């Protein structure tokens, strides 16, 4: 999950949706929403942020920084796409962001036909810029935005979150909230690669005496590709609706294997974002060839793990012994997403999407969670429902509940203190009005939530 992105861009920024709640897919509609918001909030020269434009707009030559310049003037504007893999920035925003350094082939800052940046940011540059904008926002404003999200998260039964951070600013934000007594969720922050940034972040936590049970570092995140909906997930075969492309890898396979070897030596876990069958294949290769058989291993999880070939399925059991963990987001199974995926990859590949049961049958530890705000909801009970209604790959209610609790604790290396109600574990608990091991968990209500034995949402009256 990306709670800072969701709290800042989606919940507190400009909602780029129409009157029916559909995400905007026309350039003039996006410009109109920005113009209307600025007219009503013209008392500052700070960032104007928003979320939700259709990624298909990235192919519109008129969807560029000049579109926003015409309605925003000198006010910096940063708009995150629905899938959170693109951003559109105006000229004032690009100037305020400054230079964005990123590894070759890990993303793109396209040039405009007339020269200079178009204003679009794709993949790694977008990720860096999105967090940089958050770092430039006023602390009090960010804290208020996060507080609203946090209360909703606690009220729906979330007790711990794994976020992804690109710099010390985001980590320090959570640290400040914790020191002020305003962080009630347990936070695990995954540094966005390269590996060296983790050492600097760990040093900051230790210097500031941050309690590790409340705020700690998780696996180092690497982005291998984009998403199927924006044609940037990497596949062996071309996209069905656009045979001119099969997406692309943002890191070379040999380089990724070296990252795994380095992580093993340093004692770091990895979180590898992989959505297409080629990027999943590259992830599995890196884990197989970057680790040594018979040796203690780290826990390297593949995030999303949308799709894989039959050959890769056959080696899952072997790779489970090498530290492979599957981290899957059932919230992406919703029909609003599947309709797009069906169109872009076709029916045959769609049948291979999100193989939950395959992971369990192969002995691969499974964690199910949410990708909010790139997914429409972060509610755990809805996540369970989608995992239990996934055709031949459906989980039983018991399997889904374990993957959402103990599975996530294992993926975060916290299985001896989180993920179960047991002696010696942290007193994190959720009270429901029914049994989550029965079908249709989405019908249940969360009555109360505790973190560390403290009631943080609801009541027991």
Q: What is the pLDDT of residue 202?
A: 97
Helix residue ranges, H only, 267-324: 277-290, 310-313, 316-320
Helix axes 168-179, 139-155, angle to 10 degrees: 70
Name the β-bridge partners of 301. Answer: 271, 325
Q: What is the pLDDT of residue 461?
A: 78
- Listed in sequence order, the residues at least 6 apart from 311 whose beta carbon sits closer than 8 Å to its beta carbon are none
Query: Are 291 and 297 in contact, with CB atoms under 8 Å apart?
Result: yes
Confidence of residue 200 (pLDDT cuts 50, 70, 90): very high
Find the mean pLDDT for residues 428-455: 97
Q: What domains appear along the chain, each with residue ranges and CATH number?
A: 3-136 (3.10.310.70), 219-424 (3.20.20.140)
What is the rounded CA–CA span in Å between residue 330 and residue 369? Answer: 7
Of the chain, the percentage scoring pLDDT greater than 90 comes to 88
CA 57 → CA 61, 120, 336, 376, 407, distances in Å?
9, 10, 18, 19, 37
What is the rounded CA–CA span in Å between residue 317 and residue 303? Answer: 18
Query: Are 73 and 37 in contact, with CB atoms under 8 Å apart?
Result: no
Q: What is the pLDDT of residue 161?
A: 97
CA 133 → CA 77, 97, 409, distances in Å?
10, 7, 31
Q: What is the pLDDT of residue 157?
A: 98
What is the rounded CA–CA span in Å between residue 458 and residue 461? Answer: 9
141-172 pLDDT, tens digit each: 999 999 999 999 999 999 999 999 989 999 99
DSSP state of 17: B
Confidence of residue 298 (pLDDT cuts 50, 70, 90): confident
- Listed in sequence order, the residues at least 6 apart from 199 whose beta carbon sits closer than 8 Å to its beta carbon are none
Confidence of residue 390 (pLDDT cuts 50, 70, 90): very high
- Cα dihedral sign, 193-199-200-201: positive
Query: Are 272 and 285 in contact, with CB atoms under 8 Å apart?
Result: no
- Listed in sequence order, the residues at least 6 apart from 418 whose beta carbon sits closer than 8 Å to its beta carbon are 159, 160, 186, 408, 409, 412, 425, 426, 428
Least confident interval from 103-117, 125-139, 227-241, 380-394: 103-117
């Amino acid at each position: 999950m990306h709670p800072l992105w969701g709290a800042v861009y989606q919940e507190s920024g400009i909602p780029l949706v129409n009157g029916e709640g559909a995400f905007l897919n026309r350039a003039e509609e996006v410009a109109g929403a920005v113009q209307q918001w600025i007219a009503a909030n013209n008392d500052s020269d700070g960032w104007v942020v928003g979320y939700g434009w259709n990624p298909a707009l990235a192919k519109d030559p008129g969807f560029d920084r000049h579109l926003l310049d015409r309605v925003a003037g000198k006010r910096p504007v940063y708009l995150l796409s629905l899938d959170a893999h693109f951003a559109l920035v105006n000229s004032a925003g690009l100037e305020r962001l400054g230079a964005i350094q990123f590894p070759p082939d890990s993303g793109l800052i396209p040039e405009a036909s007339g020269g200079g940046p178009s204003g679009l940011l794709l993949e790694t540059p977008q990720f860096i810029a999105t967090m940089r904008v958050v770092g430039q926002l006023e602390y009090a404003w960010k804290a208020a935005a996060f507080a609203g999200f946090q209360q909703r998260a606690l009220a729906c039964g979330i007790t711990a979150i794994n976020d992804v951070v690109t710099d010390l600013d985001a980590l320090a934000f959570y640290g400040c909230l914790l020191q002020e007594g305003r962080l009630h969720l347990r936070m695990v922050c995954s540094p966005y690669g390269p590996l060296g940034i983790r050492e600097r972040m760990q040093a900051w936590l230790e210097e500031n005496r941050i309690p590790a049970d409340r705020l700690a570092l998780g696996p180092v995140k690497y982005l291998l590709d984009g998403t199927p909906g924006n044609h940037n997930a990497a596949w062996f075969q071309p996209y069905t609706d656009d045979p001119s492309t099969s997406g692309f890898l943002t890191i070379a396979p040999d380089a990724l294997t070296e990252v795994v070897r380095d992580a093993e030596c340093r004692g770091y876990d990895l979180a590898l974002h992989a959505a297409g069958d080629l990027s999943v294949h590259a992830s599995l290769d890196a884990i197989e060839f970057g680790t040594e058989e018979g040796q203690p291993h780290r826990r390297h999880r593949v995030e999303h793990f949308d799709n894989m070939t039959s050959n890769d399925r056959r080696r899952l059991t072997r790779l489970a012994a090498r530290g492979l963990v599957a981290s899957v987001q059932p919230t992406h199974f919703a029909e609003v997403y599947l309709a797009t995926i069906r169109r872009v990859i076709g029916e045959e590949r769609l049948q291979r999407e999100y193989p939950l049961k395959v992971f369990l049958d192969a002995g691969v530890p499974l964690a199910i969670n949410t990708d909010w705000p790139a997914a429409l909801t972060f509610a755990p009970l809805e996540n369970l429902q989608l995992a239990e209604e996934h055709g031949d790959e459906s989980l039983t209610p018991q399997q889904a509940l374990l993957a959402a609790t103990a599975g996530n604790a294992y993926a975060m290396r916290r299985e001896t203190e989180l993920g179960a109600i047991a002696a010696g574990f942290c007193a994190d608990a959720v009270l429901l009005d029914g049994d989550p091991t029965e079908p249709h968990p989405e019908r249940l209500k969360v009555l109360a939530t505790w973190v560390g034995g403290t009631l943080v949402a609801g009541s027991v009256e």
